[in-house]
């Protein structure tokens, strides 16, 4: 049996921000397996360069909070697929969080996605073709418990609305914009929480499938949204969360 070509990304170029590690690395790997030429853009040059070499792709140092750097990269690469994945987490109660911590989470997780869309969108619009997949979180829709993380949740809610708004704006320009919203996934980002039984046991208990997701399970959903198999899908937020948001 051969997979229909529309379920692949054969011959496409895919840029993955935050693609050096975790979910981004899995996305880069799955898209490469499905035929794409990969460009990893990340702050972590050592890890990103190694993975890019393994995937026969390219690595570029990028801080997504720097709009000029995003524009400069868009001068060098013209991707058919853009995955805005770079993200950080900060846990702190609303009444106590430092303004600088709040700002940093918003800068990376929301403005970073905005900078990526603004830098790479015009080229896709000019070519009348492109697929953007933003990595949001189930926390863009529900406030998780017990860890306090209002900044993260607010940023991800912002990503969901940014995705919908931009999808509507670009729908007649041949550019689709969607989000994948992962539940708890086994990466460095969740290391501290996984080491804390008071948090981890609640995470598992509240997840109907009673386990974490793997980065590859998130990446497989990104492949679908990036591929022509999703040619009528835009402005959607696809939860990949073991049933968490269904409860
Ligand atoms: N792990 C989870 O449980 C989970 C759940 C929901 C959503 N997410 C989202 O998935 C995305 C990836 O998370 P992860 O778990 O793989 O995290 P991770 O910490 O394993 O990897 C994040 C990657 O992003 C890069 N990065 C961070 N800041 C950057 C910046 N300013 N510019 C460029 N690159 C930067 C890091 O160097 C790293 O390679 C994030 O947007 C995160 O919010 C993760």
Rounded CA separation 220/201 (Å): 26
Tokens of residue 169, six digits: 């704006």
CB 218 within 8 A of CB 185: yes
- Which residues lie closer than 8 Å to 155 by C-beta, 6 or more apart? 105, 106, 109, 110
Residue of 15, 17, 18 to test ligand 1 pocket, by largest number of atoms within 8 Å of CB? 18
Tokens of residue 141, six digits: 């829709």
State phi, psi for 95 to the nearest 5 degrees.
-75, -15
What pLDDT score does 1 carry?
A: 83
Q: What crossing angle do the helices spanning 45-54 and 22-33 adopt, rounded to 10°?
A: 20
How far, in Å, is the centroid of ligand 1 from the Cα of 93? 21
108 three-state secondary structure: helix
Pocket flag, ligand 1, residue 44 (CB < 6 Å): yes
Q: Per-residue pLDDT for 214 more than 90?
A: yes
Pocket flag, ligand 1, residue 87 (CB < 6 Å): yes
222 three-state secondary structure: helix
What residue segments make up the domains of the chain, in order of their start? 5-186+214-238
Q: What is the pLDDT of residues 147-190, one digit of tens each?
A: 999 999 999 999 999 999 999 999 999 999 999 999 999 999 99
Q: What is the pLDDT of residues 26-47, one digit of tens each?
A: 999 999 999 999 999 999 999 9
Q: If you average pLDDT over residues 86-106, what whole number do you get?
A: 97
Q: Report the nearest atom of ligand 1 relative to the CA of 19.
A: 39
Pocket flag, ligand 1, residue 108 (CB < 6 Å): yes
Rounded CA separation 233/125 (Å): 17
17 three-state secondary structure: strand
- Domain 5-186+214-238 grouped into CATH 3.40.50.720: yes
Rounded CA separation 128/91 (Å): 40
What pLDDT score does 146 carry?
A: 96
Pocket flag, ligand 1, residue 65 (CB < 6 Å): yes
């Amino acid at each position: 049996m051969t997979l229909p070509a529309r379920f692949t990304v054969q011959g496409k170029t895919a840029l993955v921000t935050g693609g050096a590690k975790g979910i981004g690395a899995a996305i880069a790997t799955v898209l490469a397996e499905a035929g794409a030429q990969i460009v990893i853009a990340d702050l972590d040059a050592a890890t990103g360069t190694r993975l890019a070499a393994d995937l026969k792709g390219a690595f570029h140092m990028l801080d997504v909070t720097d709009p000029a750097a995003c524009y400069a990269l868009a001068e060098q690469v013209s991707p058919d697929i853009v995955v805005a994945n770079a993200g950080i987490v900060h846990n702190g109660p609303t009444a106590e969080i430092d303004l600088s911590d709040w700002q940093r989470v918003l800068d990376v997780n929301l403005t970073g996605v905005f900078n990526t869309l603004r830098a790479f969108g015009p080229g896709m619009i000019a070519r009348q073709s492109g697929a953007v997949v933003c990595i949001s979180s189930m926390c863009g829709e529900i406030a998780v418990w017990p860890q306090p993380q209002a900044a993260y949740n607010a940023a991800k809610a912002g990503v969901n609305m940014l995705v919908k708004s931009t999808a509507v704006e670009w729908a007649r320009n041949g550019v689709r914009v969607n989000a994948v919203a992962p539940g708890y996934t086994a990466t460095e980002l969740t290391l501290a929480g996984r080491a804390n039984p008071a948090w981890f046991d609640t995470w598992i208990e509240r997840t109907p499938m009673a386990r974490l997701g793997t980065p590859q399970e998130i990446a497989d959903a990104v492949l679908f949204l990036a591929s022509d198999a999703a040619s009528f899908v835009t402005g959607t937020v696809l939860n990949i969360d073991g049933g968490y948001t269904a409860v």
